[in-house]
A = this chain, B = another copy of it.
Amino acid sequence: MMKVTVWNENRHEQKNPIVRDIYPEGIHGAIASFLKDGHDVTTATLDQPEHGLTDEVLDETEVLLWWGHMAHEEVDDAIVEKVKQRVLDGMGLIVLHSAHFSKIFKTLMGTTCDLKWREADEKERLWVIEPSHPIMEGVDQYIELEKEEMYGEHFDIPTPDELIMLSWFEGGEVFRSACTYRRGQGKVFYFRPGHETYPTYHNEEIQLVIKNAVHWATPTTRTKPVYGNAQPLEQISDK
């Protein structure tokens, strides 16, 4: 039972009836609804004060999910810095789909996070590369999505600590679509599927991966490292 916050830009939902149709409660509402059995879930969106990520919310959040696409630049730098600090202090972070271009993900990665893309109603098949990974619990050999937006290599990310799934796209590309990273004491999971005009987050297999990821990303009971000037633990000879 964890405190989970689902952050969503929530702009497409305002502008595009197709998206509103698929996600009447917003992408954040859809994701929150399949996480609420088992977790204490809060949602937050771009247009809320402080983007809904007040100190109160962030200090309580154990795992933060992030979906954004058309307004990354509107996320306040000071809020990004707070989120980054919380991740380095142990908060889990799950970065979804177009959030590869979010300020928080690019800041934690140090690269452009650029890629190829195409909106063409094409089939995606996500193959499992690490079947024994906790995030893959209960997941079949592959997940097939009838229609998704293509993301293709080269994906400008640092080498993932763990590569969990690889995607095949009908149009000929491949993509490292499920990757984990440690940053400070926090665990970061990037998960590709989730273009706003497809009902991807209603797909139960996709939901399972995200549920497993929330569990995986939860902070452990850990000893915070101590930094700075340190007294010697052994005698140092005169020289």
Contact = CB atoms under 8 A, between A and B. Distances in A.
A48 interface: no
Which of under 10, 10 to 19, 20 to 34, or 35 or more describes the interface residues of A? Answer: 35 or more
A90 interface: yes
A229 B110 contact: no
Contacts of A168: 168-169, 172-174
A181 interface: yes
A183 to B, nearest CB: 6
Nearest to A234: B172
A145 to B, nearest CB: 11
Interface stretch (A1-9, A20-28, A36-44, A150-158): A150-158
Interface in A144-173: 146-147, 150, 152-154, 156, 158-159, 161-163, 166-173
A75 interface: no
A182 B111 CA distance: 10
Nearest to A119: B229
A115 B161 CA distance: 21
A221 B127 contact: no
A193 to B, nearest CB: 15
Contacts of A112: 88, 184, 227
A136 interface: yes
A53 B230 CA distance: 35
Given A117-B228, A120-B232, A172-B233, 18 more contacts: A88-B112, A107-B110, A108-B110, A110-B183, A111-B183, A116-B226, A118-B231, A127-B173, A127-B174, A128-B225, A136-B220, A141-B223, A152-B230, A156-B225, A159-B182, A167-B174, A168-B169, A171-B230
Interface of A: 84, 88, 90, 107-112, 114-118, 120-123, 125, 127-134, 136-141, 146-147, 150, 152-154, 156, 158-159, 161-163, 166-174, 176, 181-187, 219-234, 236-237, 239
